[in-house]
Amino acid sequence: MDDNVKLIESLLDSTFRYSVAEIELLKLKTLNKTSDVVSSLVPHAVVLLILVLFLLFLNLGLAFWLGEIIGNNFYGFFVIAAFYAIVGLIAHFFMHKWIKKKIGNYLVKQMFL
């Protein structure tokens, strides 16, 4: 009877150590995947930020230029704002699902590579 108790205790101890090791392995795998995804997104974010700044200054210059042509500076800003309103509406109504699908597929691909 004493041998059975020791055997069960040994089995429980081994099971406990195995589960602790599995949890630790899961944590490390999660950390690895998270760091991979973040490290691949950071360069894209930097490029996106530079592109946004470029477009900001391009739009400011274009708005001032159009305003000078039209006669008042603020009219140029209205024209640029109307252009982006139209582009935004088109993107929302016609490209929303496509953009969502592309971003979702990219993130899933990054997680499982």
Tens of pLDDT, residue by residue over 72-103, are 888 999 999 999 999 999 988 888 788 888 88
- Using the predicted structure, report yes or no on whether residue 26 has a pLDDT greater than 90: yes
21 assigned to some structural domain:
no
**83 occurs within a structural domain:** yes
Q: Is residue 14 part of a domain?
A: no
Count CA within 13 A, CB hemisphere, residue 97: 2
* Beta-carbon count within 10 A of 63 CB: 20
Number of domains forming the structure of the chain: 1
Question: Is 19 a member of any domain?
Answer: no
Q: 28-86: per-residue pLDDT in tens? A: 988 888 888 788 788 888 999 999 999 999 999 999 999 999 988 889 999 999 999 99
Which pTM value belongs to this model? 0.59
Query: 10 is written with which tokens?
Result: 């040994």
Residue 88: give the domain boundaries: 34-112
